[in-house]
Structure 1
């Protein structure tokens, strides 16, 4: 089964693109990694990320057993290369076909997207600074895709074509 992993900084459009793909390809399961690490207050350390990776792989494994499910889209911010490696290693053990893409954009586009997102509780000035500071690290990750100036449809199309 094909699993598409969308990584990138907060606000770059992972969820929007992932949901678009799920909505336009019947039989696609959508998983937001944040669901698997929903602690209040949030704690993002190695222990909680390990738990989230285990939860994600468990969900994917269950979807892979479902005859209705044809593809899975996982969106999650994996700024620690360890987390992405743990996910891809786990997917290899599940014998999944993996396509991993890191969505990136420039500062101006990220700020514009951030300001237009009124639904996410994380869209604060403090988290914007964190996200902007993370841009260079994400740009240096595996399979970066510059999404600046591209529509959701075009980004999804590029992901599905590659």
Structure 2
């Protein structure tokens, strides 16, 4: 039996870092960050590019799910709307696969501080703070395991996910 870990959360909640640790924690695992399927300059959000990224994600996840070398498939992306989760999962063959939907969250103060550090380091632009804070409440209504990353290390969060 394979396990697909779908990990969402606002920008700055720790998704990528936690997933990199989780990949090393889980046996026979592979990791896909949804952002890797849409890394363009200039970044353009159109109906065409949104459909393209969903096809890219489903293709890569499908390849991982059908590869006998992997037992654990880890995917992260912002995933703040049920429709996005449905669009990703709806195109996958999940036969013989358990799906664990998880949202990584943190306090507003923690989120602001993390993103501000990234802005000051040149990793993100200032507008990410408002966009991320605006999406934070959207996760409350999603049918996911909620994990608070506030004040926790990536290893602690990854251990909690692995124990689900």
> So what's the TM-score if we normalise by structure 1?
0.87
Structure 2 unaligned blocks of 5 or more: none
**Displacement after TM superposition at 1:52 (Å):** 1.4
User: Does the aligned pair in 2 maintain the 1:88–1:98 contact within 8 Å?
Assistant: no
User: Does the aligned pair in 2 maintain the 1:29–1:63 contact within 8 Å?
Assistant: yes
2:154 is the counterpart of 1:152: yes
SS at match of 2:40: coil
Question: Quick one: distance in 1 between partners of 2:115 and 2:122?
Answer: 11
How do residues 35-114 of structure 1 correspond to structure 2 at under 5 angstroms? 35-91=36-92, 93-95=93-95, 96-114=97-115
CA shift in 2, pair 1:58/1:66, >3 Å: same
RMSD: 2.2
Deviations 1:52-107, CA, capped at 9 Å, x for gaps: 1221111122122323222111011123321111122233x332321110111111
Question: Quick one: distance in 2 between partners of 1:90 and 1:119?
Answer: 39
**Displacement after TM superposition at 1:109 (Å):** 0.9
User: Does the aligned pair in 1 maintain the 2:81–2:142 contact within 8 Å?
Assistant: no
> So what's the TM-score if we normalise by structure 2?
0.86
SS at match of 2:156: helix
Question: Quick one: distance in 2 between partners of 1:23 and 1:117?
Answer: 24
SS at match of 2:91: helix
Query: What is the total number of aligned residue pairs between the two structures?
Result: 161
User: Does the aligned pair in 2 maintain the 1:104–1:139 contact within 8 Å?
Assistant: no
Question: Quick one: distance in 1 between partners of 2:136 and 2:64?
Answer: 32
**Displacement after TM superposition at 1:50 (Å):** 2.2
SS at match of 1:4: strand
Question: Quick one: distance in 2 between partners of 1:121 and 1:134?
Answer: 22
